[in-house]
């Protein structure tokens, strides 16, 4: 089980305050009883325990078709329709997957998460030599970034592989009824999966949004879901506060926020966790940043970023706290070799594991940052496998729901993301935006 250590962030007493614990309990009750703001988006809450083996079988059967017919699968999606799958695939995969893949698993590429012309050009050029398939993921089915990429990919796939094969290797994950992705999937006869109405994008990694790409990549979706289901039990409302890691984390970060710590930095010491950082930033940023409130979620990869952001964290403005995701056991063993000449002076490390040095970097950083006035929360997991990632995902989701409610916002909407879209459509002259186009022209 995930272990949470807040001893270097707060005095335990700060969490023992009755009023705070009452607010946590009230938030938990509101989630369970579906009486909170955004209560039509609580489908994630008991999702892990409600996923059946039959459903996972369907996901895996579809993944097998893609695995059988494709050497490359492009996952088109953005935000919540992208980050969870990428986070898990990169955390579980070989760091050099594209070089070491001997064809046992398709390469997974991502598109529809930007509008970079060069990115899309280079992707389409690369795909010319690949037997590729596409998973088109969009809950609304109308997101511009994803729809643009999908239009390019669909055309290329049909031209390269023929209409019949394209129909087999293009899969849609979208709403049951509405949106262009649904219309296209139904018209073309693609296999499709439904994103439940009551699961918002950033909470959707344990729906086919995440499960399908993860299964196509060859990872164990049963173990992922099992980890999440175990964490669902470990964070249930009947679990006493002090033993409920999501409740304690949610409470701790709200206390720190009240103390002026406006920025939370998620830290890893494993490069494979880079996209977990990205997933977490979206989860907390979109859930809490509203009504002129909310901790700003930032993230760093250590020790890499100790050589860029380390100075700021050690001595910059004291408005930050850190949450470190610490992985206890690496998958592989690598020892530092002895060198007779010792020209680099590193013989004091001979015979030691690389991870031992990494762990001392982690501990040394923790102590230095605490000394520098940066409260430090630690989230420990045993290893980077599907089971532990499932736990970590649900731990953060549950804490996010509780934390947003303690903060007093609706953690399940994202009204702010519409503003840029409205301007973009006005600037591009989208039909239906004529008035906005005229208005925006006066500003430029």
Cα–Cα–Cα angle for 50, 394, 304, rounded to 5 degrees: 150
User: Rounded to the nearest whole angstrom, what is the least distance from the CB of residue 59 to ligand PA5 in the complex?
Assistant: 18
Is residue 79 within 8 A of residue 145, CB to CB? The reply is: no
Is residue 140 within 8 A of residue 152, CB to CB? The reply is: no
Residue whose CB is less far from ligand PA5, 179 or 245: 179
**Does 171 sit near ligand PA5 (CB under 6 A)?**
no
Helix 144-169 and helix 117-127: axis angle, to 10°?
10
**Does 201 sit near ligand PA5 (CB under 6 A)?**
yes
Residue whose CB is less far from ligand PA5, 143 or 270: 143
* Beta strand pairing call for 107-111 and 72-76: parallel
Cα–Cα–Cα angle for 45, 287, 375, rounded to 5 degrees: 100
From the candidates 163, 293, 421, 441, give the one annotated as an active-site residue.
421
Phi, psi of 296 (to 5 degrees): -80, 120
311 CB contacts (<8 Å, ≥6 apart)?
Answer: none
Query: Exposure pattern of 9-19 as b/e (b: 16+ CB <10 Å)?
Result: bbeeebbeeee
Is residue 402 within 8 A of residue 31, CB to CB? The reply is: yes
User: Rounded to the nearest whole angstrom, what is the least distance from the CB of residue 286 to ligand PA5 in the complex?
Assistant: 5
Q: Which two tokens stand for residue 313?
A: 């964290």
**Does 81 sit near ligand PA5 (CB under 6 A)?**
yes
Question: Residues 43, 80, 133, 285: which binds ligand PA5 (CB under 6 A)?
Answer: 80
Helix 208-216 and helix 221-234: axis angle, to 10°?
140
User: Rounded to the nearest whole angstrom, what is the least distance from the CB of residue 234 to ligand PA5 in the complex?
Assistant: 25
Residue 349, helix vs strand vs coil: helix
From the candidates 145, 232, 286, 288, give the one annotated as an active-site residue.
286
User: Binding to ligand PA5 (CB under 6 A): which residues in 256-275?
Assistant: none
20 CB contacts (<8 Å, ≥6 apart)?
Answer: 14, 251, 254, 255
User: Rounded to the nearest whole angstrom, what is the least distance from the CB of residue 19 to ligand PA5 in the complex?
Assistant: 31
User: Binding to ligand PA5 (CB under 6 A): which residues in 308-367?
Assistant: none
User: Rounded to the nearest whole angstrom, what is the least distance from the CB of residue 214 to ligand PA5 in the complex?
Assistant: 17
Residue whose CB is less far from ligand PA5, 15 or 400: 400
Q: Which two tokens stand for residue 222?
A: 């049963």
| # residues contacting ligand PA5 (CB under 6 A) | 14
Instruction: Determine which helix (DSSP H) or strand (DSSP E) holds 381, and give its type and residue range.
Output: strand 376-383
Q: Is 421 known to be catalytic? A: yes
Question: Residues 90, 232, 264, 286: which binds ligand PA5 (CB under 6 A)?
Answer: 286
Task: Please report the DSSP string for 228-274 in residue order.
Answer: HHHHHHHTSTTS-GGG-HHHHHHHHHHHHHHTT--EEEEEESSGGGH
Phi, psi of 108 (to 5 degrees): -105, 125
From the candidates 307, 340, 418, 435, give the one annotated as an active-site residue.
307
User: Rounded to the nearest whole angstrom, what is the least distance from the CB of residue 127 to ligand PA5 in the complex?
Assistant: 22
Residue whose CB is less far from ligand PA5, 233 or 421: 421
User: Rounded to the nearest whole angstrom, what is the least distance from the CB of residue 381 to ligand PA5 in the complex?
Assistant: 24
Closest CA to 376 of 299, 324, 316: 324
User: Rounded to the nearest whole angstrom, what is the least distance from the CB of residue 79 to ligand PA5 in the complex?
Assistant: 2
User: Binding to ligand PA5 (CB under 6 A): which residues in 113-152?
Assistant: 138-140, 143, 146
**Does 414 sit near ligand PA5 (CB under 6 A)?**
yes
Phi, psi of 378 (to 5 degrees): -125, 130
Residue range at the interface with ligand PA5 (CB under 6 A); choices 119-127, 199-207, 230-238, 291-299:
199-207
**Does 290 sit near ligand PA5 (CB under 6 A)?**
no
Q: Left, alpha or beta for 166 (phi > 0: left; psi -120 to 50: alpha)?
A: alpha
**Does 78 sit near ligand PA5 (CB under 6 A)?**
yes
**Does 287 sit near ligand PA5 (CB under 6 A)?**
no
**Does 200 sit near ligand PA5 (CB under 6 A)?**
yes
**Does 285 sit near ligand PA5 (CB under 6 A)?**
no
Q: Is 307 known to be catalytic? A: yes
Interface contacts to ligand PA5, rule CB under 6 A: 78-81, 138-140, 143, 146, 200-202, 286, 414
Active site residues per annotation: 286, 307, 421
């Amino acid at each position: 089980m995930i272990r949470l250590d807040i001893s270097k962030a707060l005095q335990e007493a700060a969490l023992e305050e009755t009023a705070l614990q009452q607010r946590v309990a009230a938030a938990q009750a509101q989630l369970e009883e579906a009486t909170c703001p955004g209560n039509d988006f609580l489908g994630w809450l008991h999702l892990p325990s409600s996923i059946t083996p039959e459903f996972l079988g369907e996901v895996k059967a579809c993944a097998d078709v893609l695995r059988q017919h494709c050497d490359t699968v492009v996952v088109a999606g953005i935000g919540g329709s992208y980050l969870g799958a990428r986070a898990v695939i990169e955390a579980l995969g070989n760091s050099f997957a594209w070089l070491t893949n001997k064809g046992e698993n398709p390469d997974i590429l991502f598109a529809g998460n930007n509008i970079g012309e060069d990115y899309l050009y280079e992707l389409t050029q690369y795909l010319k030599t690949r037997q590729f398939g596409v998973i088109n993921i969009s809950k609304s089915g109308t997101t511009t970034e994803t729809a643009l990429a999908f239009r390019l990919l669909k055309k290329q796939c049909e031209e390269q592989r023929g209409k019949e094969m394209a129909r087999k290797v293009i899969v849609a994950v979208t709403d049951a009824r509405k949106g262009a992705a649904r219309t296209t999937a139904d018209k073309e006869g693609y296999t499709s999966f439904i994103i439940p109405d009551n699961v918002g994008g950033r909470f959707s990694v344990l729906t086919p949004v995440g499960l399908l790409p993860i299964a196509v990549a060859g990872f164990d979706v049963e173990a992922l879901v099992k980890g999440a289901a175990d964490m669902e039990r470990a964070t249930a409302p009947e679990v006493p506060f002090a033993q409920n890691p999501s409740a304690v984390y949610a409470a701790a970060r709200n206390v720190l926020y009240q103390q002026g710590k406006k920025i939370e930095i998620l830290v890893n010491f494993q490069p494979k966790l880079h996209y977990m950082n990205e997933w977490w930033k979206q989860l907390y940023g979109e859930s809490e940043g509203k009504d002129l409130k909310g901790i700003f979620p930032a993230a760093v990869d250590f020790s890499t970023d100790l050589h860029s952001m380390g100075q700021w964290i050690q001595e910059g403005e004291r408005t930050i706290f850190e949450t470190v995701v610490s992985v206890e056991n690496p998958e592989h063993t690598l020892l530092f070799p002895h060198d007779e000449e010792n020209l680099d002076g590193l013989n004091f490390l001979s015979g030691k594991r690389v991870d031992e040095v990494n762990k001392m970097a982690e501990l040394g950083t923790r102590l230095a940052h605490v000394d520098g006035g940066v409260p430090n929360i630690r989230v420990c997991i045993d290893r980077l496998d599907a089971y532990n990632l499932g736990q970590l995902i649900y731990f953060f989701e549950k804490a996010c729901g509780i934390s947003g409610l303690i903060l007093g916002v609706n953690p399940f909407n994202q009204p702010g993301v519409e503003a840029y879209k409205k301007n973009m459509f006005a600037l591009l002259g989208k039909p239906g935006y004529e008035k906005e186009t005229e208005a925006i022209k006066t500003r430029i």
